[in-house]
Amino acid sequence: MTKVTVKYKLGKIVSISASGHAKFGKFGQDIVCAAVSVLMQTAVQGLNEVAKLDHLIFDSDEKTAYMYLELPVEVNETQAFKADVILETVLRGLQGIAKSYPKYMKLYEEGGANIQ
C-alpha cells in the first residue's frame, strides 16, 4: 500500500511524503504508484520552475517507492502564494487517487489539515 502524508503549518502545506508500493499492478505497471509519482514530480517541477523555490528539499528512492518534498523555511510572499496553489492542486489529485483506490493508497493529513 502507498501511504501519503501531507503536513501543514499555519494552515499551509509544508511537506508531502509518499512511501510504499501500492501493489495494484505488477512492478513498473502499477497505475496507482505511477499516479502518485507523477503528482509528486509535478509538484517538484512546479515548485522549482513556477514558484522559483531553488532550495526545495526533495528526496526519493525508486526501490522503496519513497518520495519526500518539503518547502524551504524562507520564501517570499509571491513564492508562498504560488507554492500554496501548486500544493493544494497536487493535494486534490492525491485525494482523488485515495478515494478511487482506497485499498491501495491511504492519505494522511497532519497539523491542521483541510480534510474534506
The answer to whether residue 115 sits within a structural domain is: no
How confident is the model over 65-103, as pLDDT tens digits?
899 999 998 999 999 999 999 999 999 999 999 999 999
- The alpha carbon of residue 67 and the mean position of all alpha carbons in its chain are separated, in whole angstroms, by 8
CATH of the domain at 35: 3.30.70.1490
- Residue 116 maps to a domain: no
Structural domain for 47, as ranges = 2-110
pTM: 0.88
Let me know: does 32 contact 97? Beta carbons within 8 Å.
yes
Report the domain count for the chain. 1
pLDDT in tens, 30-72: 899 999 999 999 999 999 999 999 889 999 988 888 999 999 9
Q: Please report whether residue 78 resides in a domain.
A: yes
Range 44-47 contact pairs with CB under 8 angstroms and sequence separation of 24 or more: 44/69, 46/82, 46/86, 46/90, 47/71, 47/83, 47/86, 47/87
Residues 68/60, Cβ–Cβ less than 8 Å: yes
